[in-house]
Amino acid sequence: MSSAHQNLSSIKMVNIPNVDHFSFTIITAQWNKEVTGALEIGCLETLLANGVKPENIQQLEVPGAWELISAAKMVLDSNNTNAVICIGAVIKGDTPHFEYICEGVTVGLAQLCANQSIPVIYGVLTVNNLQQALDRCGGIHGNKGDEAAVTALQMASLSQKIRK
């Protein structure tokens, strides 16, 4: 599914006004930390490069991708962040667990998106092996953490435009 046309990793800078008023929450799953740590750094650096103030970026950790759903819900219920960026990496193993976690996380985050109006960004890799994950957290397919940051900026801006 990934193609040159859909890969946002080359677009790290977006021209969005008043970015210094935005606040973002990045939630990072600690499973496959080698991958999620690199995604988180890409995300953070892209937000900062686009003018988001460091003090307006909250970084939270959860054990695994499954916990992204409840942590995102807690954030949405308790503060007025402009977008929640969920970062995780689910890597296929020998059991069907992979399918259950991927589907659960995807459906859970989609439900959060559908039920309230703060953007929840899906920065979760669902891959067949570690190499595919490494290719997407700073490798040949860019860094999907950068893409999550760009998407968060675009959605925060869209939300501001609609509310005006």
Instruction: Please report whether residue 56 would count as binding ligand RBF according to CB under 6 A.
Output: no
Q: Which of 5, 21, 97, 141 is catalytic?
A: 97
- Pick between residue 91 and residue 137 the one whose CB is nearest to ligand RBF: 91
> Residue 88 CA to chain centroid, in angstroms?
8
Among 87, 101, 125, 149, binds ligand RBF (CB under 6 A): 101
Segment interacting with ligand RBF (CB under 6 A) among 4-12, 26-34, 51-59, 74-82: 26-34
Q: What is the length of the chain?
A: 164
SS3 call for 57: strand
The C-alpha atoms of residue 90 and residue 101 are separated, in whole angstroms, by 8
CB atoms within 10 A of CB 13: 11
Residue 97 designated active-site: yes
Contact between 148 and ligand RBF by CB under 6 A: the answer reads: no
Closest CB to ligand RBF among 16 and 130?
130
Give yes or no for residue 29 binding ligand RBF (CB under 6 A).
Answer: yes
Alpha helix locations (H) across the chain? 33-49, 67-78, 97-115, 130-135, 144-163
Question: What is the closest distance, in whole angstroms, from the C-beta atom of residue 139 to ligand RBF in the complex?
Answer: 18
Residue 91 binds ligand RBF, judged by CB under 6 A: yes
Strands 137-139 and 142-143: antiparallel
Give the residue numbers marked as catalytic: 97
